[in-house]
Structure 1
């Protein structure tokens, strides 16, 4: 696998860091999860449990080894240093400054391991005026202005459906870590990576910053293409209270749909800029889609060149045979659901190891052998 032989020491908790190291583990990296004293990784105890383990923990920590360290103790630090001297990557997600106060920050690790790639993930980065401000995903999205874009039918902001600040920070960190490992092959020297959730979120706004950068004015979400201003990029309720989505605002899709509905006379509305000018077409769709159930519309749309989809719940999404066909849902020997890896190589594909470590389960092996015996042996 692509990352075979890469040794990762993961001090992070919750979601961004663990997802980063999960993707590395899926592709061959040996990941040792350093869990804090007490109850260990918080996600072991959060949310729904199946067969004795948190579903969240199972799908962020499978395929890793676990050791519990108190980094404030001499014994804990001694074992950390034994591992850090041989590691390729260290990932941490404490508040800025914590690892330095503990004596295990980048400068200290680099002094004994110049090749280390050290990644810090935080809400707002290691510098700047918000450096010490506490925040999880929701607060970061709110400060970035993204929550305000998630405006519901009632005109009020709604809580986000996915932790996109967490997710984008994780993917940004993965990209940076891999860049640094690639560069190290030439220089022999590692680097320090400062990833902020806010930075990662704002970096993914090029397609929605047009109005604020061009006019200096904030958006009115319901008038914008992505959030309700386009009749062809919109959610519509069906006769049974279920919903469907039209997800392609190109005029060709509107032409195909309106032709099938016998209303090509409405096509000029689809050619207008998103906003109030398209509302007559949106109103027509609202009336039309209320005349049949979601299932009936699914049948009706078959074979038509229109960006259409039923609005499913997450359970329905995972039950789609296409998800299993792509390897994004599998089951372990006990029947626990395991989410697959999205990074698909033709050669050396990733391998999803469904096993999860018990808290501190690998202490004896790691204490005795260090990195010598990876979990896969």
Structure 2
């Protein structure tokens, strides 16, 4: 069935029973790396097909952004014929990914235990909001809910304002990446043992892991982080600072970098000032140091300072809109956009961020219409599998 170019995961079959974001993002990463992904949708399709605006040619750009390189088949698990086809797909698959509520697939014979009984080599990934434990399994999980419960929102927004959600579904994406990492680790283990295993990822655990220094502050030191706007709790400067025409994010990750920064700004004496010579001192006295830096930065434009500060080897950057971010990536030669599909009917998509020197990601199929490959897949599942 595959028309995949050779990739590092070429020859692997993925049965994708996931919906919305975390699971589909994971399966798109696998598909880009050469896996054959069959996206199984309910009769009404993946929820994100209806999450509009914006749209491209009448199709949700949300859906388009996470479903390339897949084939779609619509199956109604409540229909025994369709459920049997889904079970056959899972039996043949190397990888199964699902994000139903824990236990929700058992009545269809599509839970891990049922699938593994028929397919002992299967790598089966379950993504949930709060895990499969007795209490967590009853809680529906959406990224926004996990942003609230995990504590992320308490860290996001103005220091004297309300908590904010992150501008993207950060924990859905993170959980998708964690699931991918877990599956690749399990795949390596299967090469040694011949046995599959169950990979479980939940959004809350991904969140607590992904908040790294903030959760570590509490777990290791009993310090509860608090909302600081754009400031960093352990570094200064490491935030937007105003120039004559806008704000520039300015960073100094260590004392040497701070010395280079103030030299470019024309105030080299600040590096020897005992109030600011060491990072802990700069962080503690940020309210004293900030106006001294702003006084210099406000004399020139954002892009003038960007040019000179980066030339000195110090990281900084303008606060761009998304279109400007894409343009910036294009300007430095990253080629962030790819066209997926035949000429004249292609869809522009964001390039897979992984670069492999020998087996790079490929872009073979545009995001599918609902049940676009249904007849082909049903016919294939009805055939005797080749040995």
Give the TM-score of the pair, scaled to structure 2.
0.88
Distance 1:280 1:166 in 2: 39
What is aligned with 2:210?
204
What is the CA–CA distance in structure 2 between the aligned matches of 1:59 and 1:195, rounded to whole Å?
A: 22
The answer to whether 1:171 aligns with 2:182 is no
Segments of structure 1 that go 5 or more residues without pairing to the other structure are: 373-377
Could you tell me whether the CA contact under 8 Å between 1:14 and 1:41 is conserved in 2?
yes
2:270 corresponds in structure 1 to 266
Q: Which residue of 2 aligns with 1:368?
A: 379
**Match of 1:375?**
none
User: What runs of 5+ residues in structure 2 fail to find an aligned partner?
Assistant: 1-6
Q: Deviations over 1:321-347 (max 9, x none)?
A: 547833431234346421111122111
Within 5 Å, give how 1:135-146 maps onto structure 2.
135-146=141-152
How far residue 296 of structure 1 moved from its aligned partner, in angstroms, is 3.0
Q: What is the deviation of 1:360?
A: 0.4
User: Are 1:103 and 2:113 an aligned pair?
Assistant: no
Aligned partner of 1:232 among 226, 237, 241: 237
Aligned to 1:291: 299
Measure how far apart 1:354 and its partner are: 4.8
List aligned pairs for 1:2-151, cutoff 5 A: 2-38=8-44, 40-47=45-52, 48-151=54-157
| Equivalence for 1:251 | 255
Q: 1:94 to 1:223 in 2, by over 3 A?
A: closer
Deviation of the 1:367 alpha carbon: 1.3
1:156 CA drift (Å): 3.3
Aligned residues, how many?
369
State the distance in 2 between where 1:166 and 1:154 align: 28
Deviations 1:45-70 (A, max 9, x none): 21311123222212211110000010
**CA 1:261/1:46 → structure 2, altered by over 3 Å: closer, same or farther?**
same
| TM-score where L is the length of structure 1 | 0.90
C-alpha separation between the residues in 2 aligned to 1:371 and 1:8?
A: 18
Q: Which moved more, 1:86-95 or 1:215-224?
A: 215-224
Do structure 1's residue 349 and structure 2's residue 360 form an aligned pair?
yes
Q: Secondary structure at the match of 1:236?
A: strand
| Deviation at residue 309 of structure 1 after TM alignment | 1.0
Look up the match of 2:370.
359
- Does the C-alpha gap of structure 1 residues 158 and 74 become closer, same or farther in structure 2, counting only changes over 3 Å? same
Deviates further, 192-201 or 206-215 = 206-215
| Partner Cα separation in structure 2 for residue 259 and residue 295 of structure 1 | 18
Distance 2:120 2:219 in 1: 42
TM-superposed deviation, 1:122: 0.6
Distance 1:283 1:369 in 2: 68
1:275/1:232 Cα in 2 relative to 1: closer, same or farther (>3 Å)? Answer: closer
Matched residue of 2:138: which SS?
Answer: coil
- 1:287–1:231 Cα change, 3 Å: farther
Per-residue CA deviation, residues 185-217 of structure 1 (Å, 9 max, x unaligned), is: 222211111111111121233433453234423
Distance, in Å, in 2 between the alignment partners of 1:366 and 1:239 is: 60
CA-to-aligned-CA distance 1:161-202 (integer Å, 9 cap, x gap): 222211111111001111112211222211111111111121
Q: Does the aligned pair in 2 maintain the 1:93–1:120 contact within 8 Å?
A: yes
Residue 228 (structure 2) pairs with residue 222 (structure 1): yes
Matched, 1:329 2:337: yes
- Kept after mapping to 2: 8 A contact 1:324/1:330: no
Give the whole-Å Cα distance in 2 for the aligned partners of 1:254 and 1:291: 19
